[in-house]
Amino acid sequence: MANNTADHPPGNSVADGNQEGDFGITVMDLRELMELRSGEAVTKIADSYGDVQGVCRRLKTSPIEGLSGNPVDLEKRHAAFGKNFIPPKKPKSFLALVWEALQDVTLIILEIAAVISLGLSFYHPPGGDSELCGETASGVEDEGEAQAGWIEGAAILFSVAIVVLVTAFNDWSKEKQFRGLQNRIEQEQKFTVIRKGQVIQIPVSELVTGDIAQIKYGDLLPADGILIQGNDLKIDESSLTGESDQVRKSLEKDPMLLSGTHVMEGSGRMVVSAVGLNSQTGIIFTLLGAGDSDEEKKIKKAKTQDGIALEIQPLKSDEAVESEEKEPEVEVKRVKKVQVNKKEKSVLQGKLTKLAVQIGKAGLIMSALTVIILILYFVIDTFGVQGRPWLKECTPIYIQYFVKFFIIGVTVLVVAVPEGLPLAVTISLAYSVKKMMKDNNLVRHLDACETMGNATTICSDKTGTLTMNRMTVVQAYLGDTHYKKVPEPDVIKPFTLEIMVNSIAINSAYTTKILSPEKEGGLPRHVGNKTECSLLGFVLELKRDYQPIRDEIPEENLYKVYTFNSSRKSMSTVLKNTDGSGFRMYSKGASEIVLRKCSHILNTNGEPRIFKPKDRDEMVKNVIEPMACDGLRTICVAYRDFPAEAGEPNWDNEADILDELTCICVVGIEDPVRHEVPDAILKCQKAGITVRMVTGDNINTARAIATKCGILLPGEDFLCLEGKEFNQLIRNDQGEVEQERLDKVWPKLRVLARSSPTDKHTLVKGIMDSTVLETRQVVAVTGDGTNDGPALKKADVGFAMGIAGTDVAKEASDIILTDDNFTSIVKAVMWGRNVYDSISKFLQFQLTVNVVAVIVAFTGACITQDSPLKAVQMLWVNLIMDTLASLALATEPPTESLLLRKPYGRNKPLISRTMMKNILGHAVYQLTIIFTLLFAGENFFNIDSGRNAPLHSPPSEHYTIVFNVFVMMQLFNEINARKIHGERNVFEAIYRNPIFCSVVMGTFILQIVIVQFGGKPFSCTALSIDQWLWCVFIGVGELLWGQLITAIPTHRLKFLKEAGHGTHKEDVPENEMNEGDDEIDHAEMELRRGQVLWFRGLNRIQTQIKVVNAFRSSLYPGLENPESRNSIHNFMAHPEFVPLSEEEAQIPEREESSSDEVDMEIQPIPSSSTGRGEAPDVSHETSC
């Protein structure tokens, strides 16, 4: 039989939850059964159990009524077959996280230097104090002070310990929160099951073996099951098998359904046969989590989507190890690592990588120079100018000098590398993600947040995003009459009314229903497909009810179902007539497409009359186009009888079956534009973002809606195309897409109607690859259907609909719109730009600190043989203060003014010329002040000079003032750093950011404590109130100096350069481009070329950006429960686990042509839809 249904004996009632005795089947039996495929499985079921019904009997469940839901019964099932979750991997201990934090290269170098310094300070050789060893101990009045040489080494170690503990604590709390988030996500994921004969939704983790689950198009299966009844069911099993072809499921051929696979077409019911660790996904999960050795053996090979087996090497580089287990439970991380990100690295990441490399090189050169100059100066001065011999007993003292020089050199490097940058990025993204949640944006991939700020194009769906997705039938064409409003039932002929009501009730998903309103006086609730809901609403308006018809013909009695998909653009259901007079098929779908297959139409008397192509053209002109011009979506309802005499048709020959139809009616469905959308689109246009509508609807409907939304403006020269025309314009004679042709079309294209998912993907890829405009485009895409997956994955940012979206679309996306509303996308743009600006603000502040500190340390060391800023002071400034500054500047809330400027784009540098002017301007002020104080400060303050102090001399007031003034200037410059576009009012809305205010005050208080009570470890001595006031006064001068800098026009300063560009394609040598690395990764190639040791430390910036995915936990504050349970559903749908076969296979080591890439990315589309969806004949198109 074509529709697959397990025959059930009548009267099979709900399984009694209190039945004693064990189940007639064990976990191992079910596990073995689920490992079989296709024919083998069918044979095994037939031999061992008779049929699926037999399996249900042994599991004590009813295929129609489901389980009773009795708690005792559910508990027994948990005990016998397990629960539907996977126990999480043990979280890392705090000590393991401490060890991880200690791997930072610069910290290791500091630790080594501090340990050597510490060791030497305790070693006093005989005769070491003799005059012959130079001026080592001169000027030390107190014998006890000479013994205090250990303090500096100890203080450095203490600072390092604090930094490491803070980092480890951050990671630990992130991990804890992340588990809380997992718990939350898991509770939110629901699946439809039948219990006590009622269709209900339960959390995925509550599924038990024996449950009867309803499955439909777009679902991601949360457990293994055996099909009981299926309609045209096709499953994408690539996540488990790597084979991209869809597998047709039926009772006769292959009834086995596996967890983690996607339903691409059709619907059905299954009995759950394995959950949790016993399901196929659970078994794989167990293998993955079974320890390194197993993992390396088991995951040696995995198939990618195009079927090529790729060797999977567990990565063991420093970065990989560092980030390998930052996410607590997903051991699959290692596999993921191999596969390069789902897209090229985010715009910000690329720019930061490049900037970090540049800063690192500069710091490396400066620190090396510092050490070399200090050592040479000391050697020449001691052994050359003073002519001293190298005495054996003096060696430890000389070594102590060399270690001191080395520590100064390392300090310069520590200051040069912006250690606070990864933290600033982490905090900024985490803060934004948390706040975006309130704006209905659930961010799945953190970098999408900042990429959205650069978006130049948004390709939006129409239904549900721009419109309300609450559809109602407002016009109808019935019995040769066009009704402008829903007609009264008595004007329609009984036969026409009867057949129309039957067609609508039966030929729609039985899960689609209209329920009574939740509140009295409210609107009825639409459950399921919104278009079908509108048709059911039409039936109710005609004073008829669809439910009795469905009760009379349950889903099991449907003979054959052709479910809706993007290539058919229609749905048909076949019934076998009870009187044996053959079959009747009901169809509905896009009016132009279904009408083309109609040969008859019901006339005024409800009798079929011949419907010729001429009649069809007339109907399109007089009925369908006027409806479409009113912005209505048109649906045609039709039927066909297959007489018994002709024998049973070949149901697989779709072209013949879906032909010779008789049209019953055409309805016009209104889906009103959301009232807030026109305003949101206007904001986008002001912000320099082009909004394009990509829809499957009729071109006239699309044009009408686009005009209402403001996408099409009157009097402007924009293109509205149908998928068919679009393809003719962009493809050559061989049918291949040509970028040149596409470049002529997309800049003016605003509406793409009757488009297939392939068209959407082609458009997105074409815009992203285009170089015709001066800035390269950053594309955001919205989608809700399973077939939007490839476009969502390809785009820079993919938005899935939280309400209407399928699991597959959500999994392919970066951000989920929890309210399906376009205005939320505008908020995402605002937050994205804010992230970018926050990081630029922090960079402006950080680089000023770095430039000044490096120059002061370098110059001071070369002139006075000692850095005016000691290692511990540098650590305070660089690691502690920068951490606080990143917290302050990265949490600035966004303002509407962010939407008044154009997007930055891919190649816009992180550090603009205005920022460079600010950095250099403030550096000039700070260096002038510090050098003045350094070389003349003792006269100004009337104190002893701190220059040329011996090795272990006590801290001087002079150098304490230099340190204090330096910190005060940074503190006030932090306020200047709040503005990066040359605004004058740096205090604007400062009260809206309490974090900023408290950080500035906190830093000031800490500085007072360090100076007054820090003593020897911080090389500080207490200052008087007068000296403090001078320090603060010089700091306040920063604000005044900032106003002066702002007054200088940037365009006059020709010498200013930008920094932190994205890499241009043309900058990359040809041979490297061929390797499939995208342009931004060029910076990483530099990382690999040399100085690996130093640059691995820098490379943590990217690693940490990836690691902060864990930080997304801060979305849900207060979730403290560490014992998260990860359901199987979650394992496959988790944003960080993208199944091997679904990744774009862009492994850099493998050459790959662009055409391969398109083929691979389109493969999740159902096999039948890879051809372009038919477009209507546009010869009669009229303008609205």
Please state, in angstroms and rounded to a whole number, the distance separating the CA atoms of residues 890 and 900: 21
- Which candidate, 353, 317, 323, places its Cα nearest to that of 1086? 353
Q: How far apart (Å, rounded) are the C-alpha atoms in residues 972 and 885?
A: 11
Measured CA to CA, the distance from residue 1006 to residue 1013 in angstroms comes to 10
Asked if 725 contacts 754 with a C-beta cutoff of 8 angstroms, the reply is no
How many Å apart are CA 246 and CA 226, to the nearest integer?
A: 17
Write out the H or E segment, with its range, that includes residue 980.
none
CB atoms within 10 A of CB 1167: 15
**Contact present, 1108 and 446 (Cβ < 8 Å):** yes
- 106's enclosing H/E stretch is helix 105-121
Q: Are 340 and 1138 in contact (CB under 8 A)?
A: no
Q: Are strands 309-311 and 719-722 parallel, antiparallel or unpaired?
A: unpaired
Which residue in this structure is represented by tokens 């991380």? 333
Distance CA 742, CA 750 (A): 14
DSSP-derived pairing of the beta strands 779-783 and 797-801: parallel
Residue 22 bears catalytic tag: no
SS3 233: strand
What stretches of 53-138 adopt beta strand conformation (E)?
Answer: none
- What is the rounded CA–CA span in Å between residue 1016 and residue 151? 7
| Closest C-alpha among 906, 910, 908, 679 to residue 779 | 906
What's the CA gap between 1130 and 281, in Å, rounded? Answer: 11
DSSP-assigned letters across all residues of 571-625: EEEEEE-TTSS-EEEEEEEEHHHHHHTEEEEE-TTS-EEE--HHHHHHHIIIIIH
Question: Which of 104, 171, 461, 807 is labelled catalytic?
Answer: 461
Instruction: Note the Cα 234 to chain centre separation in Å.
Output: 28
Please report, in angstroms and rounded to a whole number, the separation of the first and last CA atoms in the chain: 48
Distance CA 340, CA 336 (A): 7
Report the relative pairing of strands 749-753 and 719-722 from DSSP bridges. parallel
Helix (H) / strand (E) containing 525:
strand 525-527
Q: Helix or strand or coil: residue 1022?
A: coil
Give CA–CA dist 636/632, Å, rounded.
Answer: 13
Q: Using CA atoms, how far apart are residues 258 and 929, in angstroms rounded to an integer?
A: 71
CA distance 50 to 39: 15
In the three-class reduction of DSSP (H, G, I as helix; E, B as strand; rest coil), residue 785 is classed as coil
Record the tokens describing residue 1144, joined without a space.
């774009």
* d(C-alpha 526, C-alpha 560), whole Å: 26
Q: What's the CA gap between 161 and 1162, in Å, rounded?
A: 51
Contact 1173, 566 (CB under 8 A): yes
What is the rounded distance in angstroms from the CA atom of residue 668 to the CA atom of residue 531?
A: 11
Query: What are the b/e assignments for 812-831, b being 16+ CB within 10 Å?
Result: bbbbbbeebbbbbbbbbbbb
Strand partners, 586: 573, 639
What stretches of 304-419 show up as alpha helix (H) in DSSP?
318-324, 333-338, 347-379, 395-416
Q: Give the pair of three-digit tokens for residue 839.
A: 């990081």
Active-site residue list? 461
